[in-house]
Amino acid sequence: MSTLRAKVLTVSDGVIAGTREDTSGRALVERLREAGYLVVDHQIVGDGVDTVSQALRRMSSRFSGLLVTTGGTGFSPRDLTPEGTLTVLDRQAPGLSEAMRQASPLGRLSRGIAGTIGSCLVINTPGSTKGCLESLEAVLDILPHALSLLAGEPAHHPHE
């Protein structure tokens, strides 16, 4: 299997305005590196359908790997990361988002989704540091296999 590559997108009006620190984005970068990923980009955008969809298009262009978003998955009026993500996905991966929601009791409040854009796998995680890490941990073990399949590498399914 090739090198695992990842990008992180923080979605937060507060971080953009300088009134909040990007602790969740930094935590995701650190955890992905610990898990063996080469984190090649970390960007920050404000909340909103258009800002999220434009950032995802830009970051997924000619990229094969994992793109993790943090923020904008809750119930606040500006929490529109799932809606922005849906506008650019080729295919959804509901099993990933379902597993992330079950990572903790508060995970059930996340509206985050997962899916693919070309050979890029996108997962939405909550904006809290604890929530984004719990969500990532819920799927981290199967992501290398999913990324291999997306990259067109031969599938090696375990024998039953």
Q: How far is CA 26 from the centre of its chain?
A: 13
Q: Is there a domain that residue 159 lies in?
A: no
Quick: pLDDT tens for 58-112.
999 999 999 999 999 999 999 999 999 999 999 999 999 999 999 999 999 999 9
> What is the domain count for the chain?
1
pTM of the model: 0.95
pLDDT band for 2, please (50, 70, 90 cuts): low
CA distance 106 to 110: 8
Task: Please state whether beta strands 114-117 and 120-125 pair in parallel, antiparallel, or not at all (unpaired).
Answer: antiparallel
Q: What is the CATH number of the domain that holds 105?
A: 3.40.980.10
Quick: pLDDT tens for 139-151.
999 999 999 999 9
Q: Is there a domain that residue 157 lies in?
A: no
Domain range enclosing 90: 5-150
Q: Is there a domain that residue 10 lies in?
A: yes
CA distance 143 to 157: 14
Q: How far is CA 113 from CA 18, 84, 122, in A?
A: 27, 10, 8
pLDDT surpasses 70 at 23: yes
4 touches 50 (CB < 8 A): no
